[in-house]
Structure 1
Amino acid sequence: MPGNKLTAALIFVFFSAVVIVSTAFFWNEARNEIKYLCKNFVPGISMNNVAEQLQTAQHATYSLTQTSKGTSIVFSSPIHFHFYKCVIELDANNVVNSARLY
């Protein structure tokens, strides 16, 4: 019987390690995706260009909000509970004013 408990403990440790490593990998991939795409959004880029790039995201989503100055796009990932995000501000002509990483 002691061998069965040891085997069960080793199986538990193995699967726990797999879950932790997998979670860490996808967490990092989502963070990198947001970080690298956010660097692409410099002032003067059109909203169409921004949307095309954001649609290539594998691990993140974005939402649009109309503001008094234009449009605000929040790009984040549910993998890390939207902790990291890129906020892209566009003017009334749908041109990027700024993109900030939080």
Structure 2
Amino acid sequence: MRSILIRIIIVLTAIVAFLAGFYWNEARKEVAFLCENFEKGVSEQSVIRQLETGNFLRYHTKKTPSGKRIVVDSVYNLSMYKC
């Protein structure tokens, strides 16, 4: 009985690790792909419209001395990838 329980725990741990890795990678790819689409001078509306298509993204607008800046990251990869 204990052997079966240990095997179930191992399988569940492997599944959770796989799913976490999958979401982590998808969030990373989404941030990288969408951030490469923008160049300086693109309208804020256009950027936001494209960012709204992301499934794993979050973004916020910061005011800077030179204007506005939109910062993009994802909670699915602990905000390690930003642009």
The interval holding the TM-score normalised by the smaller chain is: over 0.9
The answer as to 2:34 corresponding to 1:37 is yes
Deviations 1:44-69 (A, max 9, x none): 32111101001111001001011111
Deviations 1:11-62 (A, max 9, x none): 0000000000000000000000000000100123211110100111100100
Aligned to 1:93: none
Q: How many positions carry a matched residue from both structures?
A: 83
Q: Structure 1 or 2: larger strand share?
A: 1
- The TM-score, its normalising length taken from structure 1, stands at 0.78
Name segments (4+ residues, structure 1) moved above 2 Å: none
CA RMSD of aligned residues (A): 0.8
Secondary structure of 1:84's aligned partner: coil
Between the aligned partners of 1:47 and 1:64, the Cα distance in structure 2 is 10
| 1:55-66 alignment, distance < 5 Å | 55-66=52-63
Aligned to 1:81: 78
Q: Structure 1 or 2: larger helix share?
A: 2
Structure 1, unaligned stretches of length 5 or more? 87-102
Look at both structures and tell me which one has the larger radius of gyration over its CA atoms.
Answer: 1
Structure 2, unaligned stretches of length 5 or more? none
The answer as to 2:10 corresponding to 1:13 is yes
Q: Among all aligned residue pairs of Structure 1 and Structure 2, give the percentage whose two residues are the same amino acid.
A: 35
Choose the corresponding residue for 2:44, options 40, 44, 47. 47
Between the aligned partners of 2:46 and 2:79, the Cα distance in structure 1 is 23
